Amino acid sequence: MKAIEGGAASTLMRLLASRQAKDPVFFFRVQFGKDGRLCNVFWRDSMMKEDYLLYHHVLIFDTTYRKNRYNLICGAFVGINNHWSNVMFGFAFLANEKQESFEWLFNVFNESMGTNTVPVTIFTDQDLAMKNAIDEVYKTSRHRLCQWHIQQNAISHFGIISSQRSESTNHAMGFPATKTTSLTEFYHIYEGTVKRWRDEEERKEFNCIRSTPTSVYPLVDLLQHTSQVYTIELFRLFEKEFVVAMGTRAVILSTENSILLYGVDPPGVSGSTHHVTFDCVNNMVECSCRKFQEMGMLCFHILRVFHMHSVTEISTWYILRRWTKFAKREVWSRILPTDMRRAVANGALNWRRSVMTKLYNLIAKCQNDPDARGIVDKLYSTTNDEVQQLFKDKISTEDTLPEPALDATAVLDPIRSVTKGRSKRKPSSVAKKKRSKKGSNNVASNAELYTTVPRLL
């Protein structure tokens, strides 16, 4: 009800301002049209900046998702972390697909990260305005189209029938949104998606720290080394490359001092030879397939040559930190001590130890008696429900914070899109007069009326 009474745009501004009050590194920008209505919005939190600094090499910007009440374009900035999983860099609403809107967004995104680091590769759809904006803002980045859009383009040109659609942002992000979803509802859906991704990341981080991946193949020295360095997901990819390498044929083509040139053929395929140059003294290697330059992981052509020369470890310059177990160690070392100090300060650490001891003793006492176990299970269920309700009440209380002052300018909602079934009755002359009078106090086009610059790391 508060969202309805205050307007979707104003409520969204309040939510973003509230987040920034709790997280000083939280960043957001808002752009308005000449009629004073909200046009473009971008935001990202502190962890998204940390993730971008680590995993900026690949940026996926998808604007195909457009399920909301105002038909705004939902632009998600997504990357790939060291577990080969999605990671969010930022999110935006755009009113249109014009080049100037994309340029504004990309420049704001760069500003929010506070660094000159740009993506190596950017994947987008085939929108021409977006391409022009990327060429203008990201002059050194490689712009590539996602596979699904290439397939759809082929369908339109060759009349090919497609029976299914590849994974898009809708499926990857799991948004349960519809054409009637409001901005604030979409914001909460987005927050839930980010939380789900981060929970999964923490689970995988824990698994990597706790264990070393095993293999159905004999752990030769090279596999043993990478199992200790790469995350579990990346080790599996490396393992597949290694298995393929064992089935390839390598022929030496030339030698010059310590530099050897090999021709490597994949198993069962002729005419697709790639050339591997190996400096066996300096342990430097390069392959004509350029997989390492593209992905940051050695190809099976190189691994075949390494195996022939009994290379037991991959040199550090061929192991990108972004793929290792230690990629985020510095980030966690900054965050965890802060949380620990806070826990010690409010007595939570001692309380946790005390309760864990009591509960462990109770569980040990009840484990062999079904009736006693039932009492403990019932107690846990009741207590868990009460705690969850307590947290919900606290969140509800936090959401009642007063709205921030927006430079004394009313934030108007975007024009709501007309959906199927809505009346197409033309507005009366009185309504037209009211509308023209209401728009007489229009502000400058694309004016950034509310721009808060947070402290950057």
For 397-408, the three-class secondary structure string (H helix, E strand, C coil) is HHCCCCCCCCCC
Residues 182 and 228 occupy one common structural domain? no
Closest CA to 238 of 283, 144, 302, 184: 302
Count of structural domains, the chain? 2
Asked whether residue 202 is domain-assigned, the answer is no
Asked whether residue 98 is domain-assigned, the answer is yes
Residues 166 and 229 occupy one common structural domain? no
Task: Single out the residue in 286, 301, 323 at which a domain terminates.
Answer: 323
Unique residue bearing structure tokens 């054409």? 179
Residues 240 and 130 occupy one common structural domain? no
pTM for this entry: 0.71
Burial of 230 (0-12, 13-18, 19+ CB in 10 A): buried
Residues 225 and 315 occupy one common structural domain? yes
Residues 275 and 166 occupy one common structural domain? no
Residues 165 and 244 occupy one common structural domain? no
Residues 151 and 290 occupy one common structural domain? no
pLDDT at 32: 82
Asked whether residue 197 is domain-assigned, the answer is no
Task: Single out the residue in 293, 323, 353 at which a domain terminates.
Answer: 323
Cα–Cα distance measured from residue 364 to residue 349, given in angstroms and rounded to the nearest whole number:
23
Residues 16 and 165 occupy one common structural domain? yes
Asked whether residue 391 is domain-assigned, the answer is no
Radius of gyration of the chain from Cα atoms?
28
Mean pLDDT by 10 residues, the chain (457 residues): 54 87 90 82 94 93 69 88 93 90 95 89 83 93 69 44 37 60 82 90 88 82 91 94 92 92 84 90 92 92 94 92 90 68 60 78 86 89 84 61 44 56 45 47 42 35
Is the Cβ–Cβ distance between 13 and 411 less than 8 Å?
yes
Asked whether residue 372 is domain-assigned, the answer is no
Asked whether residue 171 is domain-assigned, the answer is yes
Cα–Cα distance measured from residue 305 to residue 285, given in angstroms and rounded to the nearest whole number:
9
Residues 27 and 168 occupy one common structural domain? yes
Single-letter amino acid, residue 344: V
> What count of other Cβ atoms lies within 10 Å of the Cβ of residue 297?
19
Asked whether residue 346 is domain-assigned, the answer is no
Q: What is the pLDDT of residues 106-158, one digit of tens each?
A: 999 999 998 888 999 898 876 788 989 999 999 999 888 765 444 544 444 33
Is the Cβ–Cβ distance between 234 and 297 less than 8 Å?
yes
The DSSP 8-state label assigned to residue 85 in this structure reads: -
pLDDT at 204: 92
Residues 35 and 179 occupy one common structural domain? yes
Q: What is the pLDDT of residues 300-311, one digit of tens each?
A: 999 999 999 999
User: CB-side exposure of 284: number of CA atoms within 13 Å?
Assistant: 4
pLDDT at 292: 93
pLDDT at 300: 95
Query: Domain limits at 305?
Result: 221-323
Listed in sequence order, the residues at least 6 apart from 94 whose beta carbon sits closer than 8 Å to its beta carbon are 39, 40, 63, 72, 73, 75, 101, 102, 105
Positive or negative, the Cα torsion across 27, 33, 36, 39? negative
pLDDT at 336: 63
Residues 180 and 226 occupy one common structural domain? no
Residue 84, classed as helix, strand or coil, is coil
Residues 136 and 30 occupy one common structural domain? yes
Q: How far is CA 87 from the centre of its chain?
A: 2
pLDDT at 146: 63
Q: 284 forms bridges with which residues in the sheet?
A: 279
Cα–Cα distance measured from residue 232 to residue 237, given in angstroms and rounded to the nearest whole number:
9
Listed in sequence order, the residues at least 6 apart from 60 whose beta carbon sits closer than 8 Å to its beta carbon are 76, 77, 78, 79, 80, 122, 123, 124, 146
Cα–Cα distance measured from residue 373 to residue 140, given in angstroms and rounded to the nearest whole number:
63
Q: What does the buried/exposed string (b/e) look like for 244-282 if buried means 16 or more CB atoms within 10 Å of the residue's CB?
A: bbeebebeeeeeeeeebebbbbbeeeeeebbebbbeeee
Task: Single out the residue in 273, 303, 323 at which a domain terminates.
Answer: 323
Asked whether residue 352 is domain-assigned, the answer is no
